[in-house]
Chains A and B, each alone.
Chain A
Amino acid sequence: MSRKKTIFATIYHLCFIITILILETLLYCVAGHTLEISLQDPQITEEWIPSFSPFKITNGVKDLFSLTILAGEEPSEEEGSFVTDFNVDGMLFQVYRRPNNGYRYKISNPKAPESWCDLLSNEDFSEGTAIMRGENQLKHYSLNNFLMLMYGFSSATKETLLFHSSVIEKDGKGYLFLGKSGTGKSTHSRLWLENIPNTSLLNDDNPVIRVIDGKAFVYGSPWSGKTPCYKNRMVEIGGIVRLKQYPANIIEKQTGVKAYAALLPSISNMIWDKRVSHGISDTISSLATICQVYQLQCLPNAEAAELSYNTLTK
């Protein structure tokens, strides 16, 4: 081969490699942490994760995790040892410990168990591979949840929490409403929006919380449940309220261990994994000390919103 040809071939190959990198590796910055998604399943494009577009960046260095998305043809053989399983939204999550000490999260629909999606991660969730199978609905659900699992568990030791709650922004502060599924978190947010002036929704399901230099902040995220509200912004936390349905409106301050216990159920955890559970526990412990935490027993009415608003901002 002539020298000229060699140079052309080299340039051609370089261009090819660069094109692949540009086309297939996407960078996102969520709550100040950078993550990398590599799309290698030809079917799955950026359009599959529209809620991530406000968080897209062109330059940056990954500090949290990279996730590679592959099309799965055959069932993976590597099972690992079974740890636990649980049901969310009617979907079955099965957790296995892999021989390399990493995790395998398998998501399937119990009504159609013949296909499933797998997340294979390393021990600290800094690297993961998602293997996508089955119908598009299962793939969409799994991809979203794999990204949440990777985010929550890779950030566990970075004073960062994915926090199951609805957040209202008012005068530069964020107010978080927590509670068991169906308690009325979104309803309480709506009541603030309807009854308290100058309020807006920051996130309706899974914002990110960070403790930085002794202060607690809440960030919008690509995960907002049924409400499309994917805001790339942050505010300092003004207060946190755990909601409980009740035939009257009663608010009570929680401190110390009680505040900790009020926050604990709102964070996905792996209690058997010391790295993750101690990290999460330390961050919740800081939050319980920094933020005002209340329990609100309430009705779904305007008076409940006014009571929590007046108590938190007095």
Chain B
Amino acid sequence: MKEKKGFGLRNIAGQMVVVAQSAENINFGKVIAMNNSSAYLWEALEGKEFDAQTMADLLTQKYAVEAEKALADSQKLIEAWKNAGIIE
């Protein structure tokens, strides 16, 4: 997986969100809300090829979370990001 080009993280009304920032995504009308850990992952994964394991490793490095739980959460997050249309 990879983050689609032309999306960026912004702080909106006190909340981290991913918004479209390039002409190719001009019709992307959505604003994707991120909690702290998903915003951290989004930033850390910028420009990189990743899978659920890459994400889980990043999570266990930063948070006190078990590897198994981190992997399950990462798989869910990948699905959510896919549905939102911000990764490919």
Which positions in A face B, CB cutoff 8 Å? 83-84, 86, 95, 256-257, 259-261, 264-265, 271-272, 274, 277-278, 281, 284-285, 288-289
Contact = CB atoms under 8 A, between A and B. Distances in A.
A278 B10 CA distance: 9
B31 A257 contact: yes
Given A256-B14, A288-B13, A265 B29 contact: yes
A259 B31 contact: no
Contact of B10 (A86, A256, A281): A281
7 tightest Cβ-Cβ pairs between the two chains A and B: A84-B23, A272-B23, A261-B31, A288-B13, A257-B15, A272-B22, A256-B13
Contacts of A265: 29
A281 B13 contact: no
Contacts of A271: 19-23, 25-26
B76 to A, nearest CB: 20
B33 interface: yes
Contacts of B21: 271-272, 274, 277
Nearest to A288: B13
A257 B22 contact: no
A264 B13 contact: no
Interface string B55-75: 000000000000000000000
B26 to A, nearest CB: 6
A285 B13 contact: yes
Contacts of A277: 21
B13 A84 contact: no
A87 to B, nearest CB: 12
